[in-house]
């Protein structure tokens, strides 16, 4: 059997792969990533019979030859699709919203294999309910969990697994969520950014000290703040030129969701404000690296002088 799993919802793709792998022993499963591995190695493995079983599984990530990108791998994969090993299950993944339907190999794999799209929206509430279906948890606590760790499905599921390991009963409490899960730093960065720009020094310092308690390094916080200001500035300028969120994401090489957030948050600030903060943070970064000032003190002073 041959599978082509594609889409932007990598969490769902990974879940589908887990379902497929349950039918195979670990010793009969091979993993490849075409960002690092050669397609010829993948095909060689597909054609090689397992010493331990009649059936084997080969998983190959980033099979971008099925997208609009040009690839020398197309002919190699086409040749295999025309004469594949029936004892090998090949799973190809593409982290892209669309396939190139014009390509011969895309048409071919639809004939000989199973092509599944994973572009549907994921409701984080449903993820929590499904993962904790054997536990008692209120709607308010589900909201608290999502607000605390974010709605990234992979992170959300990992944090839920931590709660399960921690619990010795089936009732989830607020204390369980606060004590066990890791608070999402990105959320605090946006809050810190807002408080700095709105000149709310006490709230900005409160967020900053909380991040330090979470073992966040001041230099890392400076870099994250700079990144947010820079992306907001770039998105603000590019949206003026009539570019779509997808176009901006492609240009900046970041996830479209980050572009959406940058556009939304960037509306609060002028172009000049964003550039001024970028310049000041760059100067602070230089002063810290050249030993002119302590990193903790540098960011604290930056907040206080606003």
Sheet holding 88-94, edge to edge: 29-33, 56-61, 88-94, 2-6, 114-117
Q: What is the pLDDT along the chain (306 residues), one digit of tens a residue?
A: 999 999 888 878 888 999 899 889 888 899 999 988 899 999 999 998 877 777 899 999 999 899 887 778 888 999 999 999 999 999 999 988 889 989 999 999 999 999 998 886 667 888 898 889 899 999 999 989 988 888 777 788 889 999 999 888 999 999 999 889 877 766 677 788 888 877 788 888 888 887 887 777 888 889 888 988 899 999 999 999 999 888 998 898 887 777 888 888 788 888 898 999 899 999 998 999 898 998 888 888 988 875
- Whole-structure pTM value: 0.48
Query: The CATH number of 124-180 is which of 1.10.8, 1.10.10, 3.90.380, 2.160.20?
Result: 1.10.8
Q: Quick one: CATH architecture of 2-117?
A: 3-Layer(aba) Sandwich (3.40)
Phi-psi region of 56 (alpha: psi -120 to 50; beta: other; left: phi over 0): beta
Residue with tokens 């199973």: 114
* pLDDT attached to residue 122: 66
| Interacting residues of 90 by C-beta distance below 8 A, sequence separation 6+ | 1, 2, 3, 46, 58, 60, 84, 113
| Cα distance between residue 3 and residue 25, in whole Å | 18
110-129 pLDDT, tens digit per residue, is 999 999 988 866 678 888 98
User: pLDDT tens digit string along 122-177?
Assistant: 678 888 988 898 999 999 999 899 888 887 777 888 899 999 998 889 999 999 99
Please say whether the structural domain 185-304 has been given the CATH code 3.40.50.740: no
Report the 10 Å Cβ neighbour count for 24. Answer: 15
Q: Break the chain into its structural domains and give their ranges.
A: 2-117, 124-180, 185-304
Cα separation, 143 vs 39, in Å, equals 44
């Amino acid at each position: 059997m041959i599978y082509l799993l594609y889409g932007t919802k990598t969490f769902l793709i990974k879940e589908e792969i887990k379902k497929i792998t349950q039918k195979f022993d670990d010793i009969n499963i091979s993993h490849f990533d075409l960002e690092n591995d050669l397609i010829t190695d993948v095909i060689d493995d597909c054609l090689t019979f397992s010493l331990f079983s009649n059936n084997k599984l080969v998983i190959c990530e980033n099979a971008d030859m099925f997208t609009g990108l040009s690839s020398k791998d197309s002919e190699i994969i086409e040749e295999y699709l025309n004469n594949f090993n029936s004892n090998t299950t090949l799973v190809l993944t593409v982290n892209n919203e669309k396939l190139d339907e014009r390509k011969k190999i895309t048409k071919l794999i639809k004939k000989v294999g199973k092509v599944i799209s994973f572009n549907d929206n994921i409701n984080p509430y449903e993820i929590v309910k499904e993962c904790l279906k054997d536990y008692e948890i209120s709607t308010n606590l589900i909201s608290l969990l999502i607000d605390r760790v974010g709605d990234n499905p992979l992170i959300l599921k990992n944090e839920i697994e931590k709660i399960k390991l921690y619990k010795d009963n089936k009732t989830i409490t607020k204390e369980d969520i606060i004590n066990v899960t890791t608070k999402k730093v990105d959320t605090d960065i946006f809050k810190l950014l807002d408080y700095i720009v709105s000149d709310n020094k006490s709230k900005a310092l409160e967020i900053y000290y909380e991040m330090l308690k979470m073992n966040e390094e001041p230099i890392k916080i400076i870099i994250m703040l700079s990144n947010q200001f820079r992306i907001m500035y770039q998105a603000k300028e590019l949206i003026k030129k009539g570019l779509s969120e997808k176009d901006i994401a492609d240009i900046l090489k970041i996830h479209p969701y980050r572009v959406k957030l940058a556009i939304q948050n960037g509306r609060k600030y002028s172009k000049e404000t964003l550039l001024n903060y970028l310049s000041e943070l760059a100067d602070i970064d230089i002063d810290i690296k050249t030993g002119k000032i302590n990193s903790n003190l540098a960011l604290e002073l930056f907040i206080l002088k606003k």
